[in-house]
Amino acid sequence: MTAPLRPGDPIIVNVALGERSYDIAIGRGQLNTLGQRIAALRSGAKAAIVTDETVARHHLAATEAALAEAGVAATSVTVPAGESSKSFPRLETVCEALIAARIERADLVVALGGGVVGDLAGFAAAVVRRGLDYVQVPTTLLAQVDSSVGGKTAIDSRQGKNLIGAFHQPVLVVADTALLDTLPAREFRAGYAEVAKYGLLGDAAFFAWLEANWQDLFAGGPAREHAIAVSCRMKAAIVGRDERETGERALLNLGHTFGHAFEAAAGFSSRLLHGEAIALGMSLAFEFSARRALLPRAEAERVTRHLAAVGLPTRVSKVSGGVPDADRLMELIAQDKKVKRGTLTFILVRGVGASFIAPGVDASEVRAFLIEKLAER
């Protein structure tokens, strides 16, 4: 793990994908550079900003001003906030708006928002005119460290999360950490789950650093930029080695097999935010690994203790409104994208920072574990 940079230093992380490589610009005030960066990348291009109603109130005017200052003509389309916008009807709305605005293949889509907007706008960019370039401007912690990087775009199916989508890499990511100041505390905590994930899956020293510095990260101190940069570097390195998730990239799904099932069971609603579901899923992944004698139970308890300390859910009983029984959860888990020929694949761990891909996990073992967890109070 690298040492924190000095406050105020711009941080550039490169995602190395040959001719499709791109930069992630991280730091306070980076939104002001958006127009300059786009003009340098695509001289003469127009831009279509896709955002949601909540983000538009806070950041759309500043985004339009940054583009106008650099001479980038822009239009915008706004969708309702929330996971429900990752749907066929909203995808149609965005696609038709891009076409009506005469956004051409030489132009750009700007995804201004959290993970929902990034996934929706990125997927629209992937399919309109058989592929438009797009720029990610993530406005949540979760999006800055995870969903804006790596080119996964998708909408949800009635049968599960992110089941309809495409790999489509952005040409630029601008992560202005000042935009996180407007996030509700619950949203920020949910995003922190994805930060912790990077330490848990492959960097024990980073997780230990988070245990010691998470309060400064939450308060907006230098730890915030450092944690985002470390997370982005880890994801960029993994994506550079395995862009299409044929191997190592699956490790980024630590906690997601359990988490997505709980998120779907909660109706993709405010009952359980994505990051909250992932925190719960990671806690269960460590407990399940300990149950299999892959690591000491004390190590799993350490992880659960930290996630709980920052205010994230680690017990199934804490999910607002409850969850369905183990059989329904198993049906949802069976829709996980890592399932191969009907057999379950989980990301399990041998310790903090030591995750691995575990194919062929016995469904009956998972079901018994869920029954046990559902019974806890």
Asked if 309 and 299 count as a contact pair (C-beta separation under 8 A), the reply is no
Asked if 166 and 127 count as a contact pair (C-beta separation under 8 A), the reply is yes
Q: In the chain, how long is the greatest CA-to-CA distance?
A: 60
Asked if 307 and 285 count as a contact pair (C-beta separation under 8 A), the reply is no
Asked if 352 and 344 count as a contact pair (C-beta separation under 8 A), the reply is no
User: What is residue 313's DSSP assignment?
Assistant: -
Which tokens hold the place of 71? 């001479």
Which run of H or of E encompasses 152?
strand 152-157
Which tokens hold the place of 88? 């066929």
Residues designated as active site: 130, 152, 194, 235, 245, 249, 253, 256, 260, 274
Cα angle 83, 304, 232; round to 5:
55
Which tokens hold the place of 194? 């994805």
258: nearest Cα among 316, 309, 201, 200 = 316
Asked if 263 and 313 count as a contact pair (C-beta separation under 8 A), the reply is no
